[in-house]
């Protein structure tokens, strides 16, 4: 059976669209079980049928802890094999992470452990980094701190601004996400004792998945 994916998104959903396109093309053996957002007006929600959409705000649920519980219940109800965060802008609470331990993936626009959190492209420029990129990692209770599965790297060019660098990273984010989801959907990827494993063997360094556009 195709792997069931619960997608968490807060923004426009370009990575979600890449997943949908790959499923439609037959290059990813998965199905979208639901798309969940903390922003009812998130454009990502419009990319799937209404029956697959779920959106609440923490305020509407009575606060962050209540929101996390309601979200976790909604995600669990769609019986996902994997929970995939693509531009989801809220930190998942400990209870949520524990409930789906070893099943939550996140794509982050930096070469972790460098530049956790927000504004990664400008921070890479400010730091004088010679390369930048994206990381796909398991989610744990620490912000962007889970085991890194794979990375894609791009050069930082003289004269880059944050927008130019962001566009270059986005070009490798999509193929990076899809390659890792293929591993996950085929049952080859897992988390064990805080380490990512592939075919049962620990990944001591991230897989160097690289897009031709890099």
For strand 201-202 and strand 195-198, is the pairing parallel, antiparallel, or unpaired?
antiparallel
**The total number of residues written for the chain in this structure:** 214
Residue 115 is a catalytic residue: no
Q: What is the torsional sign of CA 56, 102, 95, 76?
A: positive
Backbone angles phi, psi at 197, to 5 degrees: -125, 145
Which one from 108, 132, 137, 174 is the annotated catalytic residue? 108
State how far the alpha carbon of 9 is from the alpha carbons of 41, 65, 214, in Å.
Answer: 11, 19, 25
For strand 30-37 and strand 104-108, is the pairing parallel, antiparallel, or unpaired?
unpaired
Residues with a known catalytic role: 108
């Amino acid at each position: 059976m195709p792997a069931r994916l619960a997608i968490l998104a807060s923004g426009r959903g370009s990575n979600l669209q890449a997943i949908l396109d790959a499923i439609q093309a037959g290059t990813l053996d998965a199905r979208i079980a639901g798309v969940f957002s903390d922003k009812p007006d998130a454009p990502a929600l419009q990319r799937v049928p209404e029956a697959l959409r779920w959106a609440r705000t923490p305020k509407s649920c009575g606060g962050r802890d209540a929101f996390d519980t309601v979200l976790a219940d909604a995600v669990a109800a769609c019986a996902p094999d994997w929970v995939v965060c693509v531009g989801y802008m809220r930190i998942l609470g400990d209870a949520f992470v524990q409930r789906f331990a070893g099943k939550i993936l996140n794509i982050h626009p930096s070469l972790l452990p460098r530049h956790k959190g927000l504004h990664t492209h400008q921070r890479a420029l400010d730091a004088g980094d010679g390369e930048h990129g994206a990381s796909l990692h398991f989610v744990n209770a620490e912000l962007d701190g889970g085991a890194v599965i794979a990375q894609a790297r791009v050069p930082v060019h003289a004269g880059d601004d944050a927008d130019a660098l962001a566009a270059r990273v986005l070009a490798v984010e999509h193929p990076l996400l899809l390659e890792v989801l293929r591993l996950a959907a085929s049952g080859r990827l897992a988390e064990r004792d805080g380490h990512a494993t592939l075919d049962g063997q620990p990944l001591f360094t991230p897989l160097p998945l690289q897009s031709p556009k890099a």
